[in-house]
Amino acid sequence: MRRTLIAGLTIAAVAVGGTAYLLLSTPSQRALMAQSRAERAVIVWGNADASVVAPLVDAFNRRHPGVTVRYTDVDSTLMYDRIVGTVQGGKAAPDIVWSSAMDLQAKLINDGYAQRYASPQKSALPDEAVWKDMGYGVTAEPVAIVYNKRLIAPSEVPQTHQAFTALLRARREALIGKVATYDPARSNVGYLYVTQDQAITRDTRALLQAIAATRPILLPTTEPMMDAVGKGEVAIAYNVVGPYALKHAASDDGVGVVFPKDYTLVASRVAFIPRDAPHPAGARLFLDFMLSREGQLLLARGLLPPMRTDLANTRSALPQARPIRGGPQLFVNLDPVKRRRFLAEWDAILAEGANAR
Protein backbone atom coordinates (compact mmCIF):
# COMPACT_ATOMS: atom_id res chain seq x y z
CA MET A 1 0.00 0.00 0.00
CA ARG A 2 2.84 2.36 0.90
CA ARG A 3 4.63 1.51 -2.36
CA THR A 4 1.43 2.17 -4.33
CA LEU A 5 1.01 5.60 -2.79
CA ILE A 6 4.67 6.55 -3.25
CA ALA A 7 4.64 5.28 -6.83
CA GLY A 8 1.58 7.35 -7.67
CA LEU A 9 3.16 10.48 -6.26
CA THR A 10 6.46 9.78 -8.01
CA ILE A 11 4.73 9.35 -11.36
CA ALA A 12 2.87 12.59 -10.76
CA ALA A 13 6.06 14.45 -9.92
CA VAL A 14 7.77 13.22 -13.07
CA ALA A 15 4.79 14.18 -15.22
CA VAL A 16 4.76 17.83 -14.16
CA GLY A 17 7.51 18.84 -16.58
CA GLY A 18 5.29 18.11 -19.55
CA THR A 19 2.11 19.59 -18.12
CA ALA A 20 0.95 22.99 -19.30
CA TYR A 21 -0.61 25.42 -16.85
CA LEU A 22 -3.64 26.77 -18.68
CA LEU A 23 -5.70 29.65 -17.41
CA LEU A 24 -9.09 29.90 -19.08
CA SER A 25 -8.80 32.36 -21.95
CA THR A 26 -11.71 34.55 -20.91
CA PRO A 27 -11.95 38.28 -20.35
CA SER A 28 -12.31 37.75 -16.60
CA GLN A 29 -9.15 35.63 -16.43
CA ARG A 30 -7.17 38.10 -18.54
CA ALA A 31 -8.39 40.89 -16.28
CA LEU A 32 -7.34 38.87 -13.23
CA MET A 33 -3.81 38.52 -14.56
CA ALA A 34 -3.62 42.23 -15.36
CA GLN A 35 -4.89 43.17 -11.89
CA SER A 36 -2.41 40.81 -10.20
CA ARG A 37 0.47 42.42 -12.10
CA ALA A 38 -0.67 45.81 -10.79
CA GLU A 39 -0.74 44.39 -7.24
CA ARG A 40 2.76 42.90 -7.72
CA ALA A 41 2.69 40.51 -4.73
CA VAL A 42 0.92 37.60 -3.04
CA ILE A 43 1.41 36.95 0.68
CA VAL A 44 0.81 33.34 1.71
CA TRP A 45 0.69 31.97 5.25
CA GLY A 46 0.87 28.17 5.46
CA ASN A 47 2.01 25.43 7.80
CA ALA A 48 3.56 23.17 5.16
CA ASP A 49 7.36 23.19 5.19
CA ALA A 50 8.70 26.01 3.03
CA SER A 51 10.97 23.52 1.21
CA VAL A 52 7.91 21.50 0.15
CA VAL A 53 6.11 24.57 -1.18
CA ALA A 54 9.18 26.09 -2.87
CA PRO A 55 8.72 24.34 -6.28
CA LEU A 56 5.12 25.61 -6.42
CA VAL A 57 6.14 29.16 -5.53
CA ASP A 58 9.09 29.16 -7.94
CA ALA A 59 6.94 27.93 -10.83
CA PHE A 60 4.29 30.57 -10.17
CA ASN A 61 6.92 33.31 -10.00
CA ARG A 62 8.38 32.18 -13.32
CA ARG A 63 4.99 32.15 -15.03
CA HIS A 64 3.97 35.51 -13.57
CA PRO A 65 7.23 37.49 -13.32
CA GLY A 66 5.45 40.67 -12.29
CA VAL A 67 3.89 38.98 -9.25
CA THR A 68 6.08 37.81 -6.35
CA VAL A 69 4.83 35.19 -3.90
CA ARG A 70 6.08 35.55 -0.33
CA TYR A 71 5.48 32.35 1.66
CA THR A 72 5.71 32.24 5.47
CA ASP A 73 5.63 28.98 7.45
CA VAL A 74 3.35 29.58 10.47
CA ASP A 75 2.13 27.14 13.14
CA SER A 76 -1.59 26.40 12.64
CA THR A 77 -2.70 27.66 16.08
CA LEU A 78 -0.58 30.80 15.79
CA MET A 79 -1.98 31.33 12.29
CA TYR A 80 -5.55 31.23 13.61
CA ASP A 81 -4.73 33.66 16.40
CA ARG A 82 -2.93 35.99 14.00
CA ILE A 83 -5.84 36.09 11.56
CA VAL A 84 -8.32 36.91 14.31
CA GLY A 85 -5.97 39.48 15.84
CA THR A 86 -5.10 41.01 12.47
CA VAL A 87 -8.71 41.64 11.52
CA GLN A 88 -9.71 42.87 14.97
CA GLY A 89 -6.63 45.09 15.17
CA GLY A 90 -7.12 46.61 11.73
CA LYS A 91 -3.80 45.28 10.43
CA ALA A 92 -3.05 44.01 6.92
CA ALA A 93 -4.08 40.39 6.37
CA PRO A 94 -2.27 37.87 4.18
CA ASP A 95 -3.68 36.95 0.77
CA ILE A 96 -3.88 33.18 1.27
CA VAL A 97 -4.35 31.29 4.55
CA TRP A 98 -3.44 27.61 4.06
CA SER A 99 -3.46 25.19 6.98
CA SER A 100 -3.80 21.52 7.89
CA ALA A 101 -5.92 22.50 10.92
CA MET A 102 -9.14 21.91 8.99
CA ASP A 103 -11.40 22.68 11.94
CA LEU A 104 -9.74 26.04 12.63
CA GLN A 105 -9.96 26.92 8.94
CA ALA A 106 -13.66 26.00 8.90
CA LYS A 107 -14.29 28.19 11.95
CA LEU A 108 -12.49 31.16 10.40
CA ILE A 109 -14.55 30.79 7.23
CA ASN A 110 -17.78 30.42 9.17
CA ASP A 111 -16.96 33.45 11.33
CA GLY A 112 -16.66 35.70 8.28
CA TYR A 113 -12.90 35.93 7.79
CA ALA A 114 -12.94 34.58 4.20
CA GLN A 115 -14.17 35.95 0.89
CA ARG A 116 -16.05 34.00 -1.76
CA TYR A 117 -14.24 32.96 -4.95
CA ALA A 118 -15.48 30.34 -7.42
CA SER A 119 -12.19 29.03 -8.79
CA PRO A 120 -12.40 27.74 -12.38
CA GLN A 121 -10.45 24.70 -11.10
CA LYS A 122 -13.15 23.56 -8.67
CA SER A 123 -14.87 21.28 -11.21
CA ALA A 124 -11.85 18.95 -10.91
CA LEU A 125 -12.21 18.66 -7.13
CA PRO A 126 -14.40 16.27 -5.12
CA ASP A 127 -17.45 17.82 -3.48
CA GLU A 128 -16.01 17.67 0.03
CA ALA A 129 -12.99 19.74 -1.06
CA VAL A 130 -15.01 22.92 -1.68
CA TRP A 131 -17.05 24.69 0.98
CA LYS A 132 -19.19 27.75 0.15
CA ASP A 133 -16.75 28.67 -2.66
CA MET A 134 -14.53 29.93 0.17
CA GLY A 135 -12.56 27.01 1.60
CA TYR A 136 -10.64 24.75 -0.80
CA GLY A 137 -9.04 21.44 0.12
CA VAL A 138 -5.72 21.50 -1.73
CA THR A 139 -4.20 18.16 -0.67
CA ALA A 140 -5.43 14.69 0.34
CA GLU A 141 -3.09 13.48 3.08
CA PRO A 142 -3.61 10.04 4.64
CA VAL A 143 -3.00 9.58 8.37
CA ALA A 144 -0.63 6.75 9.28
CA ILE A 145 0.76 4.46 11.94
CA VAL A 146 4.59 4.55 11.88
CA TYR A 147 6.87 1.97 13.48
CA ASN A 148 10.52 1.07 13.97
CA LYS A 149 11.23 -2.18 12.11
CA ARG A 150 13.85 -3.26 14.64
CA LEU A 151 11.40 -2.98 17.53
CA ILE A 152 8.18 -4.22 15.92
CA ALA A 153 8.43 -7.62 14.21
CA PRO A 154 6.80 -8.02 10.76
CA SER A 155 4.22 -10.41 12.21
CA GLU A 156 3.24 -7.81 14.84
CA VAL A 157 2.74 -4.82 12.56
CA PRO A 158 -0.89 -3.74 13.08
CA GLN A 159 -2.92 -3.45 9.89
CA THR A 160 -6.10 -2.14 11.55
CA HIS A 161 -6.99 0.02 14.53
CA GLN A 162 -8.29 -3.04 16.36
CA ALA A 163 -5.01 -4.86 15.74
CA PHE A 164 -3.12 -1.85 17.06
CA THR A 165 -5.16 -1.95 20.26
CA ALA A 166 -4.45 -5.68 20.59
CA LEU A 167 -0.69 -5.13 20.09
CA LEU A 168 -0.57 -2.44 22.76
CA ARG A 169 -2.36 -4.70 25.24
CA ALA A 170 -0.30 -7.79 24.46
CA ARG A 171 3.07 -5.98 24.63
CA ARG A 172 2.24 -3.33 27.18
CA GLU A 173 5.28 -3.89 29.41
CA ALA A 174 7.73 -3.85 26.51
CA LEU A 175 6.10 -0.74 25.01
CA ILE A 176 6.01 1.43 28.13
CA GLY A 177 7.54 4.76 27.12
CA LYS A 178 7.87 3.52 23.53
CA VAL A 179 4.58 4.77 22.03
CA ALA A 180 4.09 8.29 20.69
CA THR A 181 1.14 10.30 19.46
CA TYR A 182 0.04 13.92 19.29
CA ASP A 183 -0.80 15.75 22.47
CA PRO A 184 -4.36 16.92 21.71
CA ALA A 185 -4.01 19.70 24.27
CA ARG A 186 -1.07 21.22 22.35
CA SER A 187 -1.76 20.14 18.78
CA ASN A 188 -4.87 21.21 16.88
CA VAL A 189 -4.10 18.64 14.19
CA GLY A 190 -3.80 15.91 16.82
CA TYR A 191 -7.07 17.01 18.40
CA LEU A 192 -8.75 16.97 14.98
CA TYR A 193 -7.53 13.45 14.17
CA VAL A 194 -8.54 11.86 17.46
CA THR A 195 -11.99 13.48 17.48
CA GLN A 196 -12.47 12.22 13.93
CA ASP A 197 -11.51 8.73 15.15
CA GLN A 198 -14.19 9.04 17.81
CA ALA A 199 -16.77 10.05 15.20
CA ILE A 200 -16.00 6.95 13.12
CA THR A 201 -15.96 4.25 15.81
CA ARG A 202 -16.79 3.78 19.47
CA ASP A 203 -13.71 1.56 19.71
CA THR A 204 -11.54 4.69 19.84
CA ARG A 205 -11.88 4.88 23.62
CA ALA A 206 -10.46 1.37 23.99
CA LEU A 207 -7.56 2.33 21.72
CA LEU A 208 -6.85 5.48 23.73
CA GLN A 209 -6.91 3.46 26.94
CA ALA A 210 -4.42 0.99 25.46
CA ILE A 211 -2.16 3.86 24.38
CA ALA A 212 -2.41 5.49 27.82
CA ALA A 213 -1.43 2.23 29.55
CA THR A 214 1.96 2.43 27.79
CA ARG A 215 2.62 5.87 29.35
CA PRO A 216 3.01 7.42 25.90
CA ILE A 217 5.23 10.24 24.73
CA LEU A 218 2.93 13.11 23.73
CA LEU A 219 4.28 15.54 21.13
CA PRO A 220 2.95 18.67 19.40
CA THR A 221 4.21 18.00 15.84
CA THR A 222 5.07 15.21 13.42
CA GLU A 223 8.80 15.83 13.10
CA PRO A 224 9.84 14.83 16.64
CA MET A 225 7.65 11.72 16.38
CA MET A 226 9.38 10.65 13.18
CA ASP A 227 12.84 11.38 14.63
CA ALA A 228 12.06 9.35 17.75
CA VAL A 229 10.82 6.38 15.70
CA GLY A 230 13.87 6.53 13.43
CA LYS A 231 16.28 6.56 16.38
CA GLY A 232 14.47 3.73 18.13
CA GLU A 233 13.50 5.91 21.07
CA VAL A 234 9.89 5.13 20.10
CA ALA A 235 8.71 1.79 18.74
CA ILE A 236 5.43 2.97 17.22
CA ALA A 237 3.63 6.27 16.64
CA TYR A 238 -0.08 6.81 16.04
CA ASN A 239 -1.94 9.30 13.82
CA VAL A 240 1.11 10.62 12.00
CA VAL A 241 0.76 12.89 8.94
CA GLY A 242 1.22 10.33 6.16
CA PRO A 243 3.20 12.29 3.54
CA TYR A 244 5.81 13.34 6.12
CA ALA A 245 6.00 9.75 7.32
CA LEU A 246 6.53 8.47 3.77
CA LYS A 247 9.20 11.08 3.12
CA HIS A 248 11.07 10.04 6.27
CA ALA A 249 10.69 6.33 5.51
CA ALA A 250 12.05 6.84 1.99
CA SER A 251 15.40 7.86 3.52
CA ASP A 252 15.37 5.42 6.46
CA ASP A 253 14.90 1.70 5.77
CA GLY A 254 14.33 1.12 9.47
CA VAL A 255 11.02 2.99 9.47
CA GLY A 256 7.75 1.39 8.35
CA VAL A 257 4.46 3.11 7.48
CA VAL A 258 0.98 1.58 7.70
CA PHE A 259 -2.30 3.01 6.44
CA PRO A 260 -4.90 1.04 8.46
CA LYS A 261 -7.04 -1.22 6.31
CA ASP A 262 -10.25 -0.77 8.31
CA TYR A 263 -10.21 2.97 7.65
CA THR A 264 -7.59 5.60 6.95
CA LEU A 265 -8.36 9.19 7.79
CA VAL A 266 -7.52 11.55 4.94
CA ALA A 267 -6.94 15.15 5.93
CA SER A 268 -6.51 18.18 3.71
CA ARG A 269 -4.67 21.46 3.86
CA VAL A 270 -7.45 23.97 3.41
CA ALA A 271 -6.83 27.32 1.73
CA PHE A 272 -8.96 30.43 1.69
CA ILE A 273 -8.61 34.07 0.69
CA PRO A 274 -9.14 36.41 3.66
CA ARG A 275 -11.97 38.92 3.45
CA ASP A 276 -9.51 41.84 3.56
CA ALA A 277 -6.69 40.33 1.46
CA PRO A 278 -4.47 43.22 0.28
CA HIS A 279 -3.81 41.58 -3.11
CA PRO A 280 -7.11 39.86 -3.98
CA ALA A 281 -6.40 39.35 -7.69
CA GLY A 282 -2.99 37.80 -6.99
CA ALA A 283 -4.59 35.64 -4.29
CA ARG A 284 -7.13 34.26 -6.76
CA LEU A 285 -4.46 33.67 -9.37
CA PHE A 286 -2.27 31.78 -6.88
CA LEU A 287 -5.19 29.73 -5.52
CA ASP A 288 -6.06 28.73 -9.10
CA PHE A 289 -2.45 27.65 -9.61
CA MET A 290 -2.43 25.59 -6.41
CA LEU A 291 -5.52 23.75 -7.62
CA SER A 292 -4.41 23.37 -11.25
CA ARG A 293 -2.94 20.12 -12.57
CA GLU A 294 0.52 21.66 -12.64
CA GLY A 295 0.24 23.08 -9.13
CA GLN A 296 -1.04 19.78 -7.73
CA LEU A 297 1.77 17.85 -9.41
CA LEU A 298 4.37 20.26 -8.08
CA LEU A 299 3.04 19.75 -4.53
CA ALA A 300 3.26 16.02 -5.14
CA ARG A 301 7.03 16.45 -5.50
CA GLY A 302 7.02 17.15 -1.79
CA LEU A 303 4.81 14.07 -1.23
CA LEU A 304 1.71 16.19 -0.65
CA PRO A 305 -0.89 14.06 -2.47
CA PRO A 306 -3.12 15.87 -4.96
CA MET A 307 -6.81 16.47 -4.35
CA ARG A 308 -7.86 16.62 -8.01
CA THR A 309 -9.98 13.75 -9.25
CA ASP A 310 -8.23 13.67 -12.64
CA LEU A 311 -4.88 12.75 -11.04
CA ALA A 312 -3.70 9.62 -9.23
CA ASN A 313 -4.43 10.41 -5.61
CA THR A 314 -5.03 9.00 -2.14
CA ARG A 315 -8.59 7.97 -2.98
CA SER A 316 -7.45 5.69 -5.81
CA ALA A 317 -4.44 4.34 -3.91
CA LEU A 318 -6.33 3.70 -0.65
CA PRO A 319 -9.84 2.30 -1.10
CA GLN A 320 -10.37 2.48 2.68
CA ALA A 321 -9.79 6.26 2.65
CA ARG A 322 -12.17 8.24 4.89
CA PRO A 323 -11.81 11.90 3.87
CA ILE A 324 -12.42 14.44 6.61
CA ARG A 325 -15.19 16.60 5.21
CA GLY A 326 -15.00 20.36 5.51
CA GLY A 327 -17.84 22.47 6.80
CA PRO A 328 -19.55 23.36 10.09
CA GLN A 329 -19.43 19.82 11.48
CA LEU A 330 -15.66 20.26 11.78
CA PHE A 331 -15.71 23.05 14.32
CA VAL A 332 -18.35 21.47 16.57
CA ASN A 333 -15.50 20.00 18.61
CA LEU A 334 -13.93 23.44 18.92
CA ASP A 335 -16.78 24.48 21.19
CA PRO A 336 -14.98 25.33 24.46
CA VAL A 337 -17.27 23.10 26.53
CA LYS A 338 -16.83 20.11 24.21
CA ARG A 339 -13.07 20.65 24.02
CA ARG A 340 -12.72 20.88 27.81
CA ARG A 341 -14.85 17.76 28.21
CA PHE A 342 -12.72 15.78 25.74
CA LEU A 343 -9.42 16.93 27.26
CA ALA A 344 -10.66 16.16 30.79
CA GLU A 345 -11.62 12.67 29.63
CA TRP A 346 -8.23 12.27 27.94
CA ASP A 347 -6.43 13.36 31.14
CA ALA A 348 -8.48 10.82 33.10
CA ILE A 349 -7.56 8.05 30.65
CA LEU A 350 -3.88 9.03 30.91
CA ALA A 351 -4.01 9.01 34.70
CA GLU A 352 -5.70 5.60 34.67
CA GLY A 353 -3.02 4.32 32.29
CA ALA A 354 -0.18 5.68 34.44
CA ASN A 355 -1.55 3.76 37.44
CA ALA A 356 -2.12 0.52 35.52
CA ARG A 357 -0.28 -2.56 36.75
pLDDT tens, the chain, 357 aa long = 455 454 444 434 434 443 445 555 566 778 888 899 999 999 999 999 898 899 999 999 999 999 999 999 998 888 999 999 876 666 778 999 999 999 999 999 999 999 999 999 999 999 889 999 999 999 999 999 999 999 999 999 999 999 999 999 999 999 999 999 999 999 989 999 999 999 999 999 999 999 999 999 999 988 999 999 999 999 999 999 998 899 899 999 999 999 999 999 999 999 999 999 999 999 999 999 999 999 999 998 888 999 999 987 766 678 899 999 877 778 788 889 999 999 999 999 999 988 876
Torsion angle (degrees, nearest 10) of CA 262, 263, 264, 265: -160
* pTM (2 d.p.): 0.86
Question: What pLDDT score does 82 carry?
Answer: 92
Q: Hey, what amino acid is at 47?
A: N
Residue 85 phi, psi (nearest 5)? -65, -35
Are the C-beta atoms of 28 and 36 separated by less than 8 Å? Answer: no
- List the beta bridge partners of residue 135: 131
Kindly give the residue spans of alpha helices, DSSP state H, lying in the chain.
2-15, 27-39, 50-63, 76-88, 102-110, 161-170, 172-175, 188-200, 204-212, 222-231, 242-250, 280-291, 293-300, 314-317, 336-354
